[in-house]
């Protein structure tokens, strides 16, 4: 149920009937269930893992059955049962969050994953980032709430909400599209906007909450600097999914999804008190796929967990 709002605190769908539902939150539920399955399996709690797997499968099937709109996933059902975020709507036809989290939550099958992410690129992307919804709402709608109080292209109503952009980056890496993931990363990178700083109006060393979107007459202006969860999420997207260096229960994973033009990269990662000096080589200029891993010149299936204070050299061949 959507309640007063979900993550989007201006999408106020519950007007008293108590039946409004958030598809996005249902996708978050699936991601959470997958995390719990992984933990339960690691701890060898088979009954718990089976219970979480049932929860995940039931929700996934419900979403797939009722929320696919042909080219993307709908966003919600309002308190009268009306669909939000459908091609049948006049405004607010497509929302970013129910596309990215369909992939992050492993809800969509491979065909739908590609379709919904391509729809994000086609309908929501712009030179300054991905807008939250398109087209923006033109009139106040009491059934929708605060999102309809902003002009089209501003904040939640079609603005570029920086917090949501890294979710698209992560989703694209999960689909193996390093070129598009990196494009999205650069579009909202503050330092990139130095060339048009008079338009951007935000410090070049900090993320802002939102950028006025493509439907707004002041398209490209940044607003509310320092005030965004997007700063942390862009770090996660860049370090853990584009570079692909992320923690696991048993060690460190290095599974890059980088632009095909890159020949490789170097990075140093401190993990649980140990230092990993990492070199990635990409001789075939692919976006994703690890062929070999070497730790201290010894080929390995995975990177082991080192003791605190230890260090190693890691070479990954794509």
Q: Are 158 and 133 in contact (CB under 8 A)?
A: yes
**pLDDT digits 0-9 by tens, 268-302:** 999 999 999 999 999 999 999 999 999 999 999 99
Q: Which of 167, 124, 196 is nearest to 31 (CA)?
A: 167
Contact 156, 11 (CB under 8 A): yes
At 57-110, the pLDDT tens digits run 999 999 999 999 999 999 999 999 999 999 999 999 999 999 999 999 999 999
Angle between helix 110-119 and helix 165-174 axes, rounded to 10 deg: 140
Q: What domains appear along the chain, each with residue ranges and CATH number? A: 21-241 (1.50.10.10), 249-317 (2.60.420.10)
d(CA 139, CA 128): 25
What pTM was computed for the model?
0.96
Exposed, middle or buried by CB within 10 Å (0-12, 13-18, 19+), for 283? Answer: exposed
The residues assigned a catalytic role are 9
Q: What angle do CA 292, 297, 299 make, to 5 degrees?
A: 35
Q: Distance between CA atoms of 87 and 93, rounded to whole angstroms?
A: 5
């Amino acid at each position: 149920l959507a309640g007063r709002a979900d993550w989007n605190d201006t999408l106020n769908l519950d007007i008293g009937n108590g039946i409004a539902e958030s598809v996005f939150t249902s996708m978050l539920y699936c991601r959470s269930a997958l995390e719990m399955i992984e933990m339960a399996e690691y701890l060898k709690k088979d009954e718990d893992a089976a219970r979480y797997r049932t929860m995940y499968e039931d929700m996934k099937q419900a979403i797939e059955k009722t929320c696919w709109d042909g080219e993307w996933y709908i966003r919600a059902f309002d308190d009268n049962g009306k669909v939000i975020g459908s091609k049948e709507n006049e405004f607010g036809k497509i929302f970013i969050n129910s596309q990215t989290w369909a992939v992050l939550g492993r809800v969509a099958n491979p065909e739908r994953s590609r379709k919904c992410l391509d729809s994000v690129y086609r309908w929501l992307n712009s030179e300054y980032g991905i807008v939250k919804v398109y087209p923006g709402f033109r009139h106040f709608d009491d059934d929708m709430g605060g999102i309809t109080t902003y002009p089209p292209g501003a904040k939640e109503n079609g603005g570029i909400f920086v917090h949501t952009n890294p979710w698209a980056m992560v989703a694209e890496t999960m689909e193996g599209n390093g070129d598009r993931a990196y494009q999205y990363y650069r579009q909202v990178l503050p330092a990139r906007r130095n060339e048009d700083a008079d338009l951007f109006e935000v410090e070049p060393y900090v993320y802002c909450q939102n950028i006025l979107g493509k439907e707004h007459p002041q398209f490209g202006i940044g607003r509310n600097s320092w005030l965004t969860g997007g700063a942390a999420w862009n770090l996660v997207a860049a370090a853990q999914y584009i570079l692909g260096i992320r923690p696991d229960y048993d060690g460190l994973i290095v599974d890059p999804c980088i632009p095909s033009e890159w020949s490789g990269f170097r990075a140093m990662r401190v993990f649980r008190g140990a230092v990993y000096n990492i070199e990635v080589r990409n001789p075939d200029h692919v976006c994703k796929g690890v062929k070999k891993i070497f730790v201290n010149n010894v080929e390995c299936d995975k990177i082991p967990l080192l003791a605190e204070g230890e260090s190693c050299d890691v070479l990954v061949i794509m």
